[in-house]
Structures are given as C-alpha cells and as structure tokens.
Amino acid sequence: MLYLDTRDKNFKVDFKSAVMGGMNAATGGLYVPESFPKIEFEKFSENPDFRKVAFEMISPYVGDEIPESDLRRLIDDAYPFDPRLEKIDDKSYVLELFHGPTCAFKDFGARFMARAMSYFNRGSEGRLHILVATSGDTGSAVGSAFHNVEGLDVTILYPEGKISPLQEKQLSTFTGNVRALRVKGTFDDCQKLVKTAFTDSSLRSKFRLSSANSINISRLLPQSFYYAHAALQARRENPGKKIIAVVPSGNFGNLTSGLIAREMGAPIEGFVATTNSNHTIPDWIATSKYEPRPSVETFANAMDVGAPSNYERISYMYSLEEVRKLFASFWLDNDGIISAIRECHEKCSYTIDPHGAVAYKAWQEIVAGGLSKISRDADIKKPGLTPNIPDWADCVSDCVGMILETASPAKFGQTVKLATGKEPALPERLERVMALPDNSVPMENDYGKFRAWLEENLR
C-alpha cells in the first residue's frame, strides 16, 4: 500500500515511511492510503475475536512490509483488552473504548503505533527518541503505549500545574524508557520546545528524533477496528436495522477512523459529528466555511480543539456535499454537558463521561425527531443539532446509534459528580497509578536548558 500526501498528489510513500515520518514536513500534508480495500466482513464468525478483525483490517495497509506472523504478534501484544458494546436503551448502544491501560480510547491507536515504530526501528542505527508535548490526555496514552517497548525512548513535556492530578500521575510515574518533564509554562510553550528541538540540526545529528502525535496514520488505522467489530455485533443483535456512529470529536481522528471502517465495508450507515463549544466542524458543515479558531476550555477538555487536524484528511477524502449526506452534526456547551450526564444517568442508569455525554445527547435528540425539526436558518451560535439533513435522516426509526465512549467517567470524577452527585470509583489500574511516586523532572521554559537536558540524558 502506498500513502498519498493530502497536499501533493505526486508524493507517495510506503507504510514504514508514513509511520516513521508522521507527515510530509515539506508540504505540511498528511498521509492517506491510496485505497481502502474492502473486507468481506460476512466471513467472520458470529462473535469474532477483536484481534482477528484487527489483523484482517490492517493487513492490506501493511502489505509485505511486516510479515504475517510478526503482524499477528504485534496485534496480540497491542490489544490484551477489548472494546465493549453496552446496550443502554432500545435504540442506543455505548461503545466503551476505555478498557485499555490509560482508560481512554487513545490506547487503541497509540499502542499499535508504538509497536509499529519499534518494529521498523529494529536493526537500525540505535535508539529512536520520541518527543511529545501534551496538555494531558495524549501524553499518558503515548507514555503507556511506549513503556518498555524495545529500542524507543519517550520524553513527555507537560505544563506544570495545568493538568489534573490524575493526568499528572498518569504521565509522571513511569520509569525506564519513558520520562516526563514538567515545564514552567503553558502547553504552547511545551510544543514550542519540542518544535525547536525538531528543527535543531546539530541536535538531530546526534540523536534520532521522532514525534508521536495524532496526525500519524498508524494511530488512525487501528481505530477503524473497533468501529467494524462493534458494528458487526450491533447488526447481529438488530437484524434489518442501520447503524449510526455518534462520535465525540476534537481533532476528528476518531471520526476519520470510522470513515475508513465504512469505506472498507463495515455496516455503518452514517455518522454524527459531535463537539463541545469548539464547534469548528459543525459550523463548516452548516455554512460551507471552514474557520479554525483558538480553542476554548470546556468540561470535555480532550475535545478542546479549535483547528481540528483531521479536517485536512476529511476534506481530502470527501467533498462537502458528500460530508453533508453522511453526517449529522451537533454541539453542546458546558451546561448541556452536565445535564446530558445527568439525563443518561437517570434515564439509562449509565454513568457516562463528559465526552461521551455530548454524543449521548446528540443521539437522544435525533431519536426524538430532531432532524425533522431543524430549520435551515437555525442560529449556529446556539448549541444543538446543526442545520444539515443527512441522507439517513428519513430512516432514523430504522436505525440504532452507537455512541462512542472515549474515556472512563472515573477520569473526570469532579465533573461527573456535578451532574450525578456521585464520583465514580476509580478502576484499579488508575488507583495503582495514583499510589506511585512522581518521577517528573522540573524544566525551565528555556530551549538552552531543555537541549542541555536532552544531551545529558538521551542514550
């Protein structure tokens, strides 16, 4: 399989180069597979193992660049946990994606990427150093995914005092090949330190540096596995019904993975793109104007993205007209998030996290006939469904919704408590992390000091 650059159609790379390079720095473009091979999903047994589906779906994208037996081992090693599909009412499922080590869906992408990078780094000239700036969520998934993975080291930079205590524990308690620097500055300062290191040619002549951010195609492809796996189950349980995936979105990587699953033949009829008050994409769908903006802070903070990076891929893969046929879209402000968590708790006895709550509310409004009540000139500055009617709108009564639950509600205990009066219990693996000693290293917001630390500490 070759991967095309979204900005230069003559530029093509193999899987290894796409994984190791992340993006085409020369054009600023992202990689997209040149085709989306169809899988015969019918051939799977009644209740297929997640790893079997994963292997079938990833194989065409890897081609002969990783031999079959190694690829099977890589998949098995990446996924010692499963996604879980829970029915919460007649028309709705929650797809729980938080049963991995860091209790958020990013484990699915990050764990595959770490192992693919390690595989391709084998037998090369020494260790590969991953630098990653994080505002909380990505760092823990990446740190955990790369922890003890052969040949790779990770340095995580995070803004001191600006992430939650649980998030900080999840970043700072690694030992061995994953280290965390707590930077006296903001997330933007952390990102700037990392970017400066990447453009420092004398540093790069000493160390092999790479990034691990969400634009890497090797984080998106594996997220398509759970869409297909869950859609097969939902279809089996609801013969004759159509399946709509409802996706809480920030950078729209997760939703792009759903599009990939659908292209490959997974039984998904359409999507609901849902966001918090950072509603750049719903506005684009409503107005045809794509206007990236500074992000605003919300309770669903992993979706606080004003310039979603995968707009680049979505608008490369589809015209706006196609997007409008496929997507409903919806957004919710903070008050709406709290009442959605409460409503889900009261009506379905299900404790949902602030991100999943946005998707829950969107699907409830659609089931209640929301799409048929939309007025074309609705005010897009007000939360709710965006004035756009997808192709599947007239058969909502024949649809079931698959609400993607991207994090464990326990990671957002304070917000959940505001809504339900009760803080969810921490899963055991988070409790264990809370008890570990903090190994983070203090770092000034100063490139010279950061560079000196790297020179002293990288192997």
> Considering beta carbons, is residue 172 or 251 the nearer one to ligand PLP?
251
* Contacting positions for ligand PLP (CB under 6 A): 104, 106, 137, 214, 248-254, 302-303, 355, 406-407
Q: CA angle 139-260-234, nearest 5°?
A: 95
Q: CA angle 343-349-354, nearest 5°?
A: 50
| Least CB distance to ligand PLP at residue 211 (A) | 16
Q: 7: Cβ–Cβ under 8 A, 6 or more apart, which residues?
A: 24, 27, 28, 29
| Least CB distance to ligand PLP at residue 227 (A) | 13
| Least CB distance to ligand PLP at residue 104 (A) | 5
| Least CB distance to ligand PLP at residue 390 (A) | 19
Tokens of 459: 């192997």
| Least CB distance to ligand PLP at residue 360 (A) | 13
Tokens of 170: 């999840």
> Considering beta carbons, is residue 259 or 396 the nearer one to ligand PLP?
259
| Least CB distance to ligand PLP at residue 376 (A) | 27
Helices 106-121 and 68-78, interaxial angle, to 10°? Answer: 140
> Considering beta carbons, is residue 85 or 104 the nearer one to ligand PLP?
104
Q: Are 88 and 352 contacting, i.e. CB atoms less than 8 angstroms apart?
A: no
Q: Are 443 and 157 contacting, i.e. CB atoms less than 8 angstroms apart?
A: yes
> Considering beta carbons, is residue 129 or 169 the nearer one to ligand PLP?
169
Which residues on neighbouring strands pair with residue 72, listed in sequence order? none
| Least CB distance to ligand PLP at residue 247 (A) | 7
Q: CA Rg, the chain, in Å?
A: 21
Which stretch of DSSP H or E encloses residue 169? helix 165-172
Cα(191)–Cα(312) distance, integer angstroms: 20
| Least CB distance to ligand PLP at residue 135 (A) | 10
> Considering beta carbons, is residue 248 or 390 the nearer one to ligand PLP?
248
Helices 50-62 and 223-237, interaxial angle, to 10°? Answer: 130
> Considering beta carbons, is residue 84 or 451 the nearer one to ligand PLP?
84
> Considering beta carbons, is residue 121 or 329 the nearer one to ligand PLP?
329
| Least CB distance to ligand PLP at residue 47 (A) | 27
> Considering beta carbons, is residue 137 or 168 the nearer one to ligand PLP?
137
Q: Are 299 and 412 contacting, i.e. CB atoms less than 8 angstroms apart?
A: yes
The label of the residue with tokens 């500074």 reads 294
Cα(169)–Cα(173) distance, integer angstroms: 6
Tokens of 30: 């992202």
Burial class (CB in 10 A: 0-12, 13-18, 19+), 389: middle
Which residues on neighbouring strands pair with residue 443, listed in sequence order? 183
Tokens of 344: 């889900």
CA dihedral 436, 417, 92, 328 (to 10 degrees): -100
> Considering beta carbons, is residue 304 or 365 the nearer one to ligand PLP?
304
